[in-house]
Structure 1
Amino acid sequence: MTDSSMPPRPATPPQPGANADLTTTWAYLLHGVDGIMTRLKDGVSYTKYMGLYTTAYNYCTSSRMHGSLETSIGGTRTTGANLMGSDLYNSLQRYFRDHLQSIRGQTDTLHDETLLQKYAEEWNRYTVGANYVNRLFTYLNRHWVKREKDEGRKNVYTVYTLALVVWNEEMFKYIQAKNNKLANAILRLIERQRNGESINTGLIKQVVGSFVSLGLDEQDSNRSNLSVYEAAFQTPFLIATENYYKAESEQFLAENTVSEYLKKAEARLKEEEDRVEMYLHSSTRKGLILKCEDVLIRAHAQKMWDDFQNLLDFDKDEDLQRMYALLARIPEGLEPLRKKFEDHVRKAGLAAVQKLVGSGGQEAADQVEPKAYVDALLEVHRRNQEVVNRSFKGEAGFVASLDKACRDFVNTNAATGSNAAKSPELLARHTDALLRKSNKMSEEADLEQALNEVMILFKYLEDKDVFQTFYSSKLSKRLIHSVSASDEAEASMISKLKEACGFEYTNKLQRMFTDMSLSKDLTDQFKAKQEQNHGEMEINFSILVLGTNFWPVQAPKIDFNIPADILSTYNRFQGFYQSKHSGRKLTWHWNLSRNELRANKMNPKYIFMTSSYQMSVLLQYNDNDSLTIDELVQATGIPKDQLEPVMNVLVKSKVLLSDEKDTYDYNPNYKNKKIRINLNMPVKTENKQDTSEVLKTVDDDRKFVIQATIVRVMKSRKTMKAQALIAEVTQIIAARFTPRIPDIKKAIDTLLEKEYIERADGTRDTFNYVA
């Protein structure tokens, strides 16, 4: 408000005395109040301000009766000092009302930004002035207003709040009554900003701030609420926002790709977040963002879901991140993505294995190399794990989708067919290759990383007991033949398995290492004993004594003829061991033993590394140059069907020569570039035999595991229905393998026969534990 818009300022009345009447007092106060409200920029001297303050104080505290004046305020008869406060309060109220009525017409012809500027200018001048006036009438607020409110009078406010109430009635409602003129002016300004124009955000903040200030709490006039702000601005603002973004998003998607729309929606949401910070009340944030999410995301979620596969197929990481971030804002947004991602990973895993197998059918599937198989599965997991971590922020739902898909294709694929044991077998064979001396890992860290990757696939195996049995078989051979890469690597792998499946899972594996250590001590003791009794030993001898219950090895049922060259050592060790452990029986595994023979007849004197069966055959040629297969069977005690593969290796290496009549001759002209020659090569049928034996062992073990689990459950529960028992047993065993319901039912029947459990009287599907 400029001075030119106000009438000439009248001369200042003299300050009234302590007992001045209302007319004299108000004339002086009115001049000062009007000066503060309209000409504050001209300043108010300290003397003038204190004069006004004192006059208001004196009038409010005056107890002089003006004649016999009595009045009624709110139904209460009031006299004296009470009346003085009431007269002053009413005079202020009339002044504020008259003042605003005199200036509000200046807004009639204004629109949009000019209207907002005028409104903000008047609001700032008015509220600053009212704040000063409020201080002038501190005593009125502290005593008369407080007393009136304490006595329950309604619509009585402190002077500053009174000024706001009058502004609301005389200025704000006057302008808003004309088709929400103020709010619409703000909305048009915000729309211009959304369209890319620069606007005066400070102006909007001032006007919106006035809406907030005009909200008054009926219970506490010193506390504001948001009723005016919400009704006058927030509600139409949210409606306008919805309409704006609905039209824009539909048009944008009609002309652009989903990827472009993701960028647009992301930017728009950020703009609205910033808009709250710039000039809106913080309470608007929730409703505004929900409205934007509804219009920008939920309304177009189907198009995003439909385009998700395209983003996955072409590795559009940034777009995936945007889509995830947007759809995560709505409760139903991510589930369709999780399902599509699960299908995507499953198909990728199946395709990777199918590529290995090709079109060769079951024969090609049987020939899949463990390393190639494991690498293919790991690559699919690694690639999609990166997508989960990078694009989906490691969200638990996507992790679960990845795990479920991996579990599916790891256990059933083109290489496994219907053989559930195939994946555990291939993973165990790959692990065996890693832990052998022959592996190509140059650093221990590389081997440790490779073992960690094995555990990634291991956790997806449904039949972990199959892996355990294969692993145990391979570990036994590595230890027996001393071909482990290192004891540290073996211990590390067992530790990983123990962490994943518990102590019971690795108990037998750890006992194998204990037996190896005990066997070394036993060998040293035996050698010391022999040297003490017989001098230096005739042959270099070491022994492994393995616990029957912990090692997955079985001695062949043949009557092997121990060669005379080692018979004395054999008998001495038998006696030595019985002297230390009289209650134990030794079963010799000649099929697993290794030997070194020096060929003294040959020049140079070659050293042959052989199995005991090969040793037994070659020793026959110390006294013979030619022998038939039947003669060798009789001499060695090895059955013909087991001896023939042994002979084939010796013939193939040309140590022996053979004709078509099953006769084998010593080869005096044998030549080799090496002095040490390994003849102890695995027979081709070994792998198939190993697999068959492992699967038979697994089946036998599972029967006992199921029975033992049923007994433990029944011992704990005492009485259970069949369905509940089957469900709980399945849940417990699932960590090791997925039991078949017919197998559980068969185990229940077995336990009924053995009288570990019994049927409850009069029922067929309820069982009791038999103590």
Structure 2
Amino acid sequence: MSAPKKKTFKIEPFKHRVEMDPKYAEKTWKLLEHAIHEIYNHNASGLSFEELYRNAYNMVLHKYGDKLYSGLVNTMTWHLKEISKSIEAAQGGLFLDELNRKWRDHNKALEMVRDILMYMDRTYVHNNQKIPVHELGLNLWRDNIIHSSNIQARLLNTLLELIHKERTGDVIDRGLMRSIIKMLMDLGPAVYQEDFEKPFLEVSANFYSVESQEFIECCDCGEYLKKAERRLNEEMERVSHYLDAKSEGKITNVVETEMIANHMHRLVYMENSGLVNMLMDDKYDDLSRMYNLFRRVPSGLSTIRDVMTSHLRETGKQLVTDPERIKDPVEFVQRLLDEKDKYDKIINLAFSNDKAFQNALNSSFEYFINLNARSPEFISLFVDDKLRKGLKGVSEEDIEVVLDKVMMLFRYLQEKDVFEKYYKQHLAKRLLSGKTISDDAERSLIVKLKTECGYQFTSKLEGMFTDMKTSQDTMQGFYACQSVDTSDGPTLAVQVLTTGSWPTQPSATCNLPAEIMGVCEKFRTYYLGTHTGRRLSWQTNMGTADLKATFGKGQKHELNVSTYQMCVLMLFNSADRLTYREIEQSTEIPASDLKRCLQSLACVKGKNVLLKVPMSKDIGEDDAFLFNEKFTCKLYKIKIGTVVAQKETEPEKQETRQRVEEDRKPQIEAAIVRIMKSRRVLDHNNIVAEVTKQLQSRFLPNPAVIKKRIESLIEREFLERDKTDRKLYRYLA
């Protein structure tokens, strides 16, 4: 059962009925209207703002807000129309001054009026969704002043004219411009954009369209870019001084379009001053300016990059295919390094080290270096030249820098295994002849190669260094033996080379002198006595010798010669004159090597320890040779090199290529087996693609060769063809 409801009573105070003066609102408004007139007439000092605020407060409180608000609109409108007449009457340069002064006055008046009508702003305006007093004042100024038929066009034309004057070199009042532009911005984004910015951008586009056409007709590319850069900076400066910050992107876009994008291709290809000329003449400032300007427009950088790539590929192609330029391998590689240094510097200094440009440079070098099949050989010859002893003015630090640069070229090679072949041959000659600048430099390059290509690439190269160290220990043991007498007769230094590590050399015949054979046999006996299951074969074509020679009048010299040259010279201990055929029969040196050997001993001025009859540069089979008794030289030690071509001959080149191709076969087969073992079933095209991907770090295998290796694996039953699809292969476990 619910409880009974309690009755409540409310006691209200007694309301005293107050009679309102019927003319209250009119009288109060007249006071407020008079105050607004006084404010606009600069007579506000005599006004009581507290009393005026209270009057406005009471009008709103007594529900006369409509009268107060509409009266404000009418009064401000009347004053603004009067102000408009004053501004319209201002002549010439006084127009903006008058406008700016009246705008400041209006803002001050507006602040005072807003203070008086603050209660109306907070209550009446808010409740009736009216425009606040300050915003109302701005709107009335916009409608009665800025959009006045006699002011609007005049204001725009005056502003644009002043900007044009500034662009043509005149000095204008930037402070006044800033005040006027700020006025437009204060009136709202739409006013600034529609009444000024939009026509400003249109006029600017026309201005720069005409000017850019004038410039491009009379300036070279570099000068034009300077002018474009200056105009761009001027516009950005103009924005920072008196335009809206949001206008910067719009006006710079106008300059970029009219001065750069519209003339981009003409500038790049401009005769005698375009991009190619800048690249050729190393004009870093102009290139940097072009890069920074072109990056601002669509496809600007790609245009520069494409032209640079095209030019670089063309010059690179000429560099590697010109018969005159490839005569000297060292010069050939040096030109490539110089070209790389040149473009690295351009990209670093002018193109902000842009990765896209660096990639374009790398792809271009990879393209044209591989156009010359001998690039791997030439790069190895260049390294050989730098790492041999006797290089004047080259420190180990300099060598390290050069090796780093060479590694850049090495990365571009598609046939890295060909480089390995030649490098192994050249390294072998340096190590065996002791003509390397330092072991540290040699090992440094091997470390770089290992980092680039992996352990397998350098394992045999490292084995060569191991053999050299082992050989030193072996020789120490040989001469430590009591039975070896080194007091008289020739001394021997032997390097024992592991067959698999060193480049294979054809076993050339050569009859060593009896004195040499004796000590060689002693070493053979010692070595085979300390090692079991080994076989020694002498590589006489790779050795050197130091001979003591006595010439006429007792003049003595020490000759540094090859083993072949030693064999020839020692024949003259028992004969004064020998024919070519007698020398050939006695030494059994291969004819091509013997001719080069005799040529270096008899035909090189200053080192001709032999005389040739008849005298000529070429060696004939009917020639005779005599010991040169009258030979003289200021030096005691004389090095007699062998006349030999630095580059391979065509037969040697073909032989090397054949060996490379043979070495590739097992690598290709191993890759095929690895792929098929994991995939089990695969079609022909995918096998070719995956084999190429696996081996491209060493060489690019020929698809035809891959096909042959697949056939070979099928014959040996590693793979089989699918019975229904001939292009599909299966792995046989």
TM-score, normalisation: structure 1: 0.77
Give the distance between the partners of 2:336 and 2:652, measured in 1 at CA: 24
Determine which of 589, 597, 609 is the counterpart of 2:539: 589
Question: Shift of residue 475 of structure 1?
Answer: 0.7
- Secondary structure in 2 aligned to 1:552? coil
Residues 197, 668 of structure 1: alpha-carbon distance in 2 compared, 3 angstrom cutoff:
closer
Tell me: CA distance 1:276–1:556, structure 2 relative to 1, closer, same or farther (3 Å): same
- Count of residues in correspondence between the two structures: 695
Q: Deviations over 1:480-531 (max 9, x none)?
A: 1111011222223333434444444333323322332233233334444x24
Check if 1:372 corresponds to 2:346: no
Residues 481 and 701 of structure 1, relative CA distance in 2, 3 Å threshold: same
Alignment of 1:379-458 (within 5 A): 379-412=338-371, 420-458=372-410
User: How far, CA to CA, are the matches of 1:401 and 1:309 in structure 2?
Assistant: 24
Task: Name the CA distance, whole Å, in 2 between partners of 1:193 and 1:230.
Answer: 21
Residue of structure 2 equivalent to 1:116: 96
- Choose from 531, 550, 553 the match for 2:504: 553
Deviation at 1:675, TM superposition (A): 5.7
Distance in 2 between residues matched to 1:141 and 1:521, nearest whole Å: 105
Distance 1:254 1:557 in 2: 73
- 2:207 pairs with 1:202: no
* Residue 174 (structure 1) aligns with: 148
Tell me, yes or no, if structure 1 residue 523 matches structure 2 residue 475: yes
In 2: Cα distance, 1:243 partner to 1:573 partner: 96
Out of 695, 702, 706, the position equivalent to 2:657 is 695
SS of aligned partner of 2:307: helix
Other structure's SS at 2:729 match: strand
Q: Give the Cα–Cα distance (whole angstroms) in 2 for the partners of residues 619 and 188 of structure 1.
A: 101
The two structures, once aligned, show a CA RMSD in angstroms of 4.2
Counterpart code for 2:170: E
1:219 — aligned with what?
none
Alignment-mate amino acid for residue 539 of structure 2: H
Matched residues in 1 for 2:492 and 2:687: separation? 55
Q: Distance in 2 between matches of 1:482 and 1:489?
A: 14
Matching residue of 2:308: 341
Cα-to-partner distance string for 1:121-162 (whole Å, 9 max, x where unaligned) = 22221122212332333333334434x1xxxx54x2332122
Shift of 1:54: 4.3
**1:262 to 2:225 alignment:** yes
Output the CA distance in 2 between the equivalents of 1:309 and 1:496. Answer: 42
Structure-2 change in CA distance of 1:200 and 1:610 (3 Å): closer
1:700 alignment partner, SS class: helix
Of the three residues 249, 253, 260, the one matched with 2:212 is 249
Ranges in structure 1 where 5+ consecutive residues have no aligned partner: 1-16, 63-79, 216-225, 359-364, 413-419
Of 400, 413, 416, 1:461 maps to: 413
Aligned-partner SS, 1:297:
helix
The answer as to whether partners of 2:389 and 2:437 remain within 8 angstroms in 1 is: yes
Are the equivalent residues in 2 in contact too, given 1:526–1:576 (CA < 8 A)? no
Please tell me whether residue 511 in structure 1 is matched to residue 463 in structure 2. yes
Aligned partner of 2:110: which letter? Answer: A
Q: Find the counterpart in structure 2 of residue 160 from structure 1.
A: 134
Return the alpha-carbon distance in structure 2 between the equivalents of residues 195 and 631 of structure 1.
Answer: 95
Corresponding residue of 2:695? 733
Q: Does 1:570 align with 2:543?
A: no
Give SS of 2:445's match.
Answer: helix
| Residues 718, 21 of structure 1: alpha-carbon distance in 2 compared, 3 angstrom cutoff | farther
What is the aligned partner in structure 2 of residue 313 from structure 1?
A: 277
Decide whether aligned partners of structure 1 residues 522 and 52 sit closer, same or farther in structure 2, where only a CA change above 3 A counts: farther
Q: 1:581-622 CA distances to partner (integer Å, 9 max, x unpaired)? A: x45544443332334456799967765555455556677788
Aligned to 2:642: 681
Residue 160 of structure 2 is matched in structure 1 by: 187
Output the CA distance in 1 between the equivalents of 2:611 and 2:523: 28
Deviations 1:58-84 (A, max 9, x none): 555x4xxxxxxxxxxxxxxxxx6xx25
Could you tell me whether the CA contact under 8 Å between 2:551 and 2:629 is conserved in 1?
no
Q: 1:711, 1:275 → 2: CA distance?
A: 70
**628 and 205 in structure 1: CA distance in 2 versus 1, 3 angstrom threshold:** closer
Shift of 1:699: 2.0
The reply to whether residue 230 of structure 1 matches residue 193 of structure 2 is: yes
Q: Would the alpha carbon gap of residues 642 and 340 (structure 1) be closer, same or farther in structure 2, given more than 3 Å must change? A: closer
Report the CA distance shift for 1:381/1:629 in structure 2 as closer, same or farther (over 3 A). Answer: closer
The CA deviation at 1:239 is 1.5
Distance change (3 Å), C-alpha of 1:540 and 1:200: same
Structure 1 position 241, deviation (Å): 1.5
Alignment of 1:83-162 (within 5 A): 83-110=63-90, 113-146=93-126, 148=127, 153-154=128-129, 156-162=130-136
**Contact 2:719/2:730 (CA < 8 Å) preserved in 1?**
yes
Q: Give the letter aligned to residue 307 of structure 2.
A: K
Matching residue's letter, 1:279 = Y
Question: Contact 1:626/1:663 (CA < 8 Å) preserved in 2?
Answer: no
CA distance in 1, matches of 2:447, 2:201: 60
Return the alpha-carbon distance in structure 1 between the equivalents of residues 215 and 581 of structure 2: 90
Would the aligned equivalents of 1:112 and 1:186 in 2 still touch at CA under 8 Å? no
SS at the partner of 1:767?
Answer: strand
Equivalent runs, 1:61-76 vs 2, <5 Å: 62=61
Q: Which amino acid aligns with 1:681?
A: T
**Aligned mates of 2:714, 2:460 — CA distance in 1:** 30
Bigger Cα displacement from structure 2, 650-659 vs 291-300: 650-659
In 2: Cα distance, 1:661 partner to 1:262 partner: 71
The one-letter code of the counterpart of 2:180 is: V
Q: Match of 2:52?
A: 52
AA at the equivalent of 1:168: R
Q: Aligned AA for 1:49?
A: F
Residue 300 of structure 1 corresponds to 263
Q: Aligned to 1:124, what secondary structure does the other structure show?
A: helix
Decide whether the 8 Å contact of 2:577 with 2:627 is kept in 1.
no
In structure 1, distance between residues paired with 2:387 and 2:29? 103
Judge which range, 259-268 or 473-482, deviates more. 259-268
* Residues 57 and 140, structure 1, Cα contact 8 Å, conserved in 2: yes
| Cα shift readout 1:370-397 (whole Å, capped 9, x = no counterpart) | 2332333344444444444444444444
Q: CA deviation at 1:567?
A: 4.5
Kept after mapping to 2: 8 A contact 1:555/1:587: no
Structure 2 CA distance for aligned equivalents of residues 591 and 686 of structure 1: 18
Map 1:32-43 onto structure 2 (within 5 A): 32-39=35-42, 43=45
Deviation of 1:289 after TM superposition, in Å, equals: 1.8
Matches within 5 A, 1:652-667: none
Give secondary structure in 1 for the equivalent of 2:269. Answer: helix
Q: Kindly, what percent of the aligned residue pairs are identical?
A: 31
Q: Hey, what does 1:9 align to over in structure 2?
A: none
Task: Give the structure-2-normalised TM-score.
Answer: 0.81
Q: CA deviation at 1:237?
A: 1.6
- Name the CA distance, whole Å, in 2 between partners of 1:753 and 1:471: 35
SS at match of 2:497: coil
Q: Which secondary structure does the structure 2 equivalent of 1:357 belong to?
A: coil
- The change in CA–CA distance for 1:546 and 1:243 in structure 2 (over 3 A counts) is same
CA distances 1:44-99 after superposition (whole Å, capped 9, x unpaired): 78xx3334344444555x4xxxxxxxxxxxxxxxxx6xx25554444433332333
TM superposition shift of 1:678:
5.0
Q: Deviations over 1:557-582 (max 9, x none)?
A: 6597795412442233333441xxx4
